[in-house]
A and B are shown apart, each in its own frame.
Chain A
């Protein structure tokens, strides 16, 4: 079985799994990291959204062999540490606006939101409604409106 190594939430991890196993299964089934959720396995619902080197991506659609040893993968569990606080400002905004209903999609929503705010800033502007319209994460409870409020508020503290 091939050995693969990468940095996960600040720690170097090594797993012995087949090359073509998708990263989501490495995280959940092998490493027991349960924050990224399965919602489709087709890179559509975005419930597993995590970060790779600071950018949002979906581990359901990346083979472990495509992850380099130097790549830094951050899941919702590792998000607070990226700002050195108990909670990332976006997580706090989610609490302030009481966004979550069932909560299943929310780790992915938060990870996508953080990346979206950074992407907007890299393009030279604060997050807009047009940017928020680009978020593809499904919330079947329909919390979209509070998500929009929370992202805007969280962005101000990022």
Chain B
């Protein structure tokens, strides 16, 4: 199609002299002491999906060209190298230019290398690359795009490395290369000679950069790709050895915390007792920064005491007058009009508006970073999904050249969109500069909920017209508090563009909405439009394990159920009739069969079914929910119990599942997230601040909300290309839960999560850190 670019063609050299007809890929030998092979990143396939049907809807932008493609395309123009190094101990090393925040990308990349290099996976060492400004767009972790963007370049480099090892061995033995082969890290000759990769690593090294073409393994020969692989970092995780930013032992980087404003984006007017607080036990430094008052001390416990002892007068923030109700009014005012006129003689309409509360993307590891800023340089350690933009922003803030700032990407304790922003790293750099000392900055949990990023409140209005036995039009108007996209596509140029007046919406929100959203059904005339209100930085917003998809999908699928009912059709049968594409139909049929759709259930229990397409994948979910009083009213201390999803069945087709076990894990996360979004977890915005301040206020799914019966079906390969998976599961699970809840309760819910109208906790005080409990021993079990 037209979107294919010259750069991409250069990466995909047509047929090779051997005439096999298979596509060759280009990589490079890099001059180094041992064998180092590089390949360009950013050569994703841009194949359109087919659309066919009843009253065919024109393909929407997402179906042809999605957000991942945009990321890939952005990468093409500037792409440079990723490199695999062979070591003399027989291992291979690869510094992955992505963040690992729990989704298993390091394991998956190790699989790709193991496959093409023919090396046991335990000999593949994956680290996270430092910020590499030369990579520009190619160092952003998000949009479920890591697998898609790494799949071909990593395999190319690994395949060339294997060939070079064979060439080195053949030269050493004086035999033709065609007579040697590899087996699990060893090169063998026909006469039985063997050489380990380690023994060949130096001999195979290049003395100058050389371009090499290589063919990749055909899928039929895969022995690692497509096979379940346990996480390569699992042993570290279960022994406590896995190292996160706050576990690093950077010399003299003492614990540091910040006293924050009583409202979002409030600033310090004055502090009455800086000297007195600095004299407190263990405290070394106290100072005003742009986001509050920073305190550095020997222990975090002493920092908490000092933070709370500060006597601060605050300036107001920009949204002090805003609460859920005032924001809802502004969203209503910003909603774009529907355009299909009602045609009362022939058609009927279903028309409703769904409201989705603010939600927190707070991971379990709070915002944190280590910073060591000197007069002439700065060094940062943090979980950064956009490390290049972080380096550039910090350099600008500190007045240092970009080359004087280094950023080490540390394994993250979750992200869910949070680490697209480098808030903690930027703040830590400011504090370290101010104090002239290294700092280990950690946000308190309460601040992380209140001043950290939220997924913004939104509404989704849907009107469907139908008549004469068919659906004629589908219109959706999604209206949201503006999502901050100022992380751009990974570096400063697009990040700056997003900060220009209207740049965040016109340049990003609108485009990203169009590139990520589509209706999977043939509903005649389809329009989906977005409008946003409030400045991008009025609240602290950001993506949260998807951007718009869960809310849009919930609204779509609830309306689909209602239209099906009006047209006298079973929800499954209706979906089968109107679905556009075969892959989605296949996953729908799979969950219906495995989940026994339509089985008899007691009153108060019901099934729900939903589908979603995104990231070049198709997914369907069937859930069962128990809304009977005995379940809803079960008691757990300081908890929201409520309805319980008792069963979840997910069928997922990602095109090519590289690691089915990891994919299943991502679906399990999607199930926990989807349940939370519909039943329990939200942020209440009140007078310019989220009221939530602890995990017993923000009711993310807990064990007592977890289904006891979960089945994830990973569909066999369909497209041969891996799609995205990290975010894919959330939307259809949320939608299926919402549909099941509506059916079980015989209601038409329009506000989510369903418990948002009831504040189930007593809010913690503003601005101060809640006191550390002292009664822990009394809860021992």
Residues of A whose CB lies within 8 Å of any CB of B are 17-18, 20-26, 28-30, 32, 34-45, 47, 52, 55-63, 66, 75-77, 80, 87, 91, 94-95, 98-107, 110, 115-116, 119, 129, 132-148
Contacts and interface: CB of A to CB of B under 8 A. Distances in A.
Contact of B364 (A63, A66, A87, A140): A140
B234 interface: yes
A142 to B, nearest CB: 3
Given A116-B781, A140-B414, A143-B669, A22 B238 contact: no
A137 B701 CA distance: 11
Given A99-B238, A101-B414, 19 more contacts: A17-B299, A43-B779, A44-B696, A52-B780, A58-B776, A61-B779, A76-B238, A102-B101, A102-B412, A102-B413, A103-B411, A104-B364, A106-B237, A135-B703, A138-B695, A141-B364, A141-B669, A142-B670, A148-B703
Contact of A132 (B241, B695, B703): B703
Nearest to B281: A18
Contacts of A61: 772-776, 779
A39 B444 CA distance: 9
A41 B701 CA distance: 20
A105 B365 CA distance: 9
B231 A98 contact: yes
A101 B661 CA distance: 11
B710 interface: yes
A144 B703 contact: yes
Contacts of B247: 34
B9 interface: no
Contacts of B670: 142
Contacts of A103: 102, 233-234, 236-238, 242, 411, 413
Contacts of A40: 445, 694-695
13 contacts: A35-B240, A39-B365, A42-B694, A43-B779, A61-B772, A95-B238, A134-B704, A140-B364, A140-B414, A141-B414, A144-B672, A144-B701, A144-B703
Interface string B276-303: 0000011000000000000000111110
Given A39-B364, A140-B362, A143-B668, A100 B238 contact: yes
A6 B710 CA distance: 44
B708 interface: yes
B772 A37 contact: no
Contacts of B669: 101, 141-143
Most buried by B among A58, A132, A138: A138
Contacts of B636: 133-134
A55 B665 CA distance: 30
B301 A25 contact: yes
A105 B672 contact: no
Contacts of B774: 20, 61-63, 66
B44 interface: no
B56 interface: no
Most buried by B among A21, A26, A110: A21
B249 A47 contact: no
Contacts of B102: 100-104, 141
Contacts of B242: 103
B363 A145 contact: no
B416 interface: yes
Interface size class of B (residues with CB under 8 A): 35 or more
Given A103-B102, A104-B363, A140 B700 contact: yes
B370 interface: no
Interface in B297-324: 298-302, 304
A55 B781 contact: yes
B770 interface: yes
B710 A145 contact: yes
A133 B103 CA distance: 25
Interface string B351-367: 00000000000111110
Given A45-B364, A95-B230, A38 B300 contact: yes
A104 B244 contact: yes
B240 A142 contact: no
Interface of B: 101-104, 230-231, 233-244, 246-247, 249, 255, 281-282, 298-302, 304, 362-366, 411-416, 442, 444-446, 636, 638, 661, 665, 668-673, 694-696, 700-704, 706-708, 710, 770, 772-777, 779-781
A116 B781 CA distance: 7
B234 A38 contact: no
Given A57-B776, A94-B234, A104 B414 contact: yes
Given A25-B299, A41-B304, A57 B777 contact: yes
A102 B704 CA distance: 21
B418 to A, nearest CB: 10
B414 A21 contact: no
A140 B700 CA distance: 7
Given A62-B777, A104-B413, A45 B695 contact: yes
A21 to B, nearest CB: 5
Contact of A45 (B235, B412, B415, B445): B445
B444 A41 contact: yes
A22 B301 contact: yes
Contacts of B416: 140
Contact of A142 (B101, B413, B673, B704): B673
A39 B298 CA distance: 19
Contacts of A18: 281-282, 302
8 A-B pairs closest in CB distance? A142-B672, A102-B102, A35-B240, A104-B413, A61-B776, A103-B237, A61-B773, A100-B237
B365 A37 contact: yes
Contact of B238 (A45, A91, A145): A91
B781 A107 contact: no
B103 A101 contact: yes
Contacts of B300: 25, 28-29, 38, 41
Contacts of B304: 41
Contacts of A42: 445-446, 694, 696, 770, 772-773
A32 B249 CA distance: 8
A57 B776 CA distance: 6
Contacts of A60: 772-773, 776
A101 to B, nearest CB: 4
A63 B638 CA distance: 23
Contacts of A21: 299, 301-302
B674 to A, nearest CB: 9
A139 B238 contact: no
Given A37-B365, A45-B695, A55-B781, A146 B235 contact: no
Contacts of A20: 301, 774
